[in-house]
Amino acid sequence: MRSIEQRRKFRMNKLFHGAAYYPELWPEADIDRDIIEMNRLGINVVRMGEFAWSRMEPDEGRISLDFFVRVMDRLHAAGIGVVFCTPTPTPPIWLVHGHPERCFVDAEGNVMSHGARQHPSYENPFVRAACARIVEACAQALGRHPALVAWQIDNELKCHVAEDFNPSAIAHWHAWLETRYGTIEELNDAWGTEIWSQRYQRFDQVPAPVRTPFLHNASLSTAYRMFSRESIADFLDAQCMLLRRQSSVPITHNFSLGFFLNFERTCVNLDFASFDNYPSAQNWSAMMLDNDLLRAAKPGRAHWLMETSVSHNGWLGNHEPAHPAGFLVAEAVSAYALGAEAVCYWLWRQQRTGCELPHSAIMSAWFKPTIGYAQVEAVETARKRLEPFLVASKPAAAEVAVTWSDLGRAMLQTEPLGGNKTHEVSFLGMISVWHQLLLDLGVHRDVRFEGGSLDGLKLLITPAMPYASPEFLKRVEAMVRAGGIWICAPTTGSRTVEHAVPTDAGLGAIDALAGIETEYSYPVSDTDAVGEAFGLSTPLAGWCSAVRPAHADTRIIGELKTGQASSVAFLTERKLGRGAIVVLGAMPQGEAGQTLLKKLISHYTLQAGVKERYDVTSGTLVCPRVGANGARSWIVVNMDGHGGEARVNGEVIKLESYDWRVISE
């Protein structure tokens, strides 16, 4: 049995092209026909099992995986691998019928019911035991099957639900608080509970943030979010442990960045990361963000695109536009080029029942090729061309990264700092803004977890991270002193770890590190606030930290012009060691703001000596690769369908709509 470290070092030796497969929904006689068509199309992996618990355990304690063994036998004989999923998102009716205490409860007190998915409370001990039993049965029956290439834990954890307020969850919350704080006095001090007479005498008095006449203490609300996300990660960890007792294949979970998870924590015990994304042709950049985060999530291990649509997304009451011809190939090529080992579709055959009837598939419910079938054929042609080249190389190391902070995300969900009716604020939105700027400028980039390594970085951008821990700042300082540049973007440092306002300085420890003094902290949306920097002027919005230099090595790069304050800056730079710390105190807005932000990034990528940057037209992507012998190569893809060009290795590459090209030294 391989150790977890050995599993994490599995080397990519092929590119997978797959689909979600639900043989339990169709006559068993259809399986051979499915397999013949999969082989003809080049599908070499399928994912199955995640919604089939009632087929495995129709009555409590009566478990059989024989059907899935037979299916996997036939798939293996045909050379098709299997990602088998634990079926915990959709338990059978017997688990919750007549047992509301086993169901998920939302913040309004609504008890979820059987009929969709994610309705059980994973905090309930009976539910946890039942989940463990079926996972262990899957591991015993299938863990050594020759078709098995990977496990997937559950499916899209916290896709439809946020924090659980089941009584079992609240009991676990109290225990979690006691473990974290030790004494109720410590909690009271950390949260400042003298406010509004919130002071608690015992941990079991601390409420969960259910409905209250106004709002809960920010410290409490953010803590409950982090508790909930840690607890669901524990649920995943428990399944990993059961699978590893019986099986040596790697384990993953399929994420999406909108789900209510702590992504960094949840990745800890996975062997590789995977994600689901269903972009339309217009929001293709969202998939690039997923690739850049999940590639960096498990360094040295390729990630998977586990679900995307063949032509369009859809469920009862809604469906998205069908992809234009060529988009699916561009989507797949870019994922492979950015480090994905697999591109998989949801789903193989259109569902004839359920709540996702209008969703696209490779085959229709009546088993005819769908509108997207020819595009899947084209992806397979591209995969065959790419496979020898990509197996022999890996993505070039990124020199630029954006910081992803799960605590920062939770804090902005509690307090969308700087947001109002005219200016929406979200953590994912802010990350996307900075990521899009790097895409537009042709900068090869990572999105790295807050706790991730900063090795190799020349420029780090950290937006919307209200709490910057001493550990994080220590690593940032080391990077800067060695020659890197840190851009501390708006709201970063503006709160403490307990979601309180710092009392030592406006940006806490960042003030001293950046050589500044925060004078004012206030919202500037819909005011006369203007920022002037790099010879440009732009309106500002969101939350503003207006600062002054407080160190001889700090200089003003951008002045804040407003009738509410004078002689203050919104952009500063401090030389530190061989690098610099840049504080951006407020977010430029509109077309002028985009121009200024691009000027800011261009200036500091040049100052930091970033080499992995390419002149590109909008909508064109360059993916640099490095071979085992150090040889350089690039995959250039047009993603927006308008055609474009890129200057790579001294050559101008022109692409037609959704075209792609491999360039070698």
Residues annotated as part of the active site: 156, 307
Cα-based distances in Å from 465 to 469, 490, 604 = 10, 8, 21
Q: Could you tell me whether strands 445-449 and 554-562 are parallel, antiparallel, or unpaired per DSSP bridges?
A: unpaired
Specify the amino acid at residue 151.
W
Identify the residue whose tokens are 């090529």: 333
Q: Could you give the CA distance from residue 311 to residue 322 in angstroms, rounded to a whole number?
A: 5
> What is the number of other CB atoms lying within 10 angstroms of the CB of residue 201?
9
DSSP state letter for 397: P
Q: Could you give the CA distance from residue 155 to residue 492 in angstroms, rounded to a whole number?
A: 32
CA angle centred on 49, ends 240 and 96, rounded to 5°: 85
Q: With the C-alpha atoms ordered 401, 596, 469, 260, is the resulting torsion angle positive or negative?
A: negative
- The length of the chain, given as a count of residues: 665
510 in helix, strand or coil? helix
Q: Could you give the CA distance from residue 444 to residue 265 in angstroms, rounded to a whole number?
A: 25
**276 has which bridge partners?**
307
Specify the amino acid at residue 629.
N
Q: Is the Cβ–Cβ distance between 128 and 168 less than 8 Å?
A: no
Structure tokens at 55: 């087929």
Q: Could you give the CA distance from residue 556 to residue 570 in angstroms, rounded to a whole number?
A: 8
Q: Is the Cβ–Cβ distance between 428 and 256 less than 8 Å?
A: no
Largest CA distance in the chain: 78
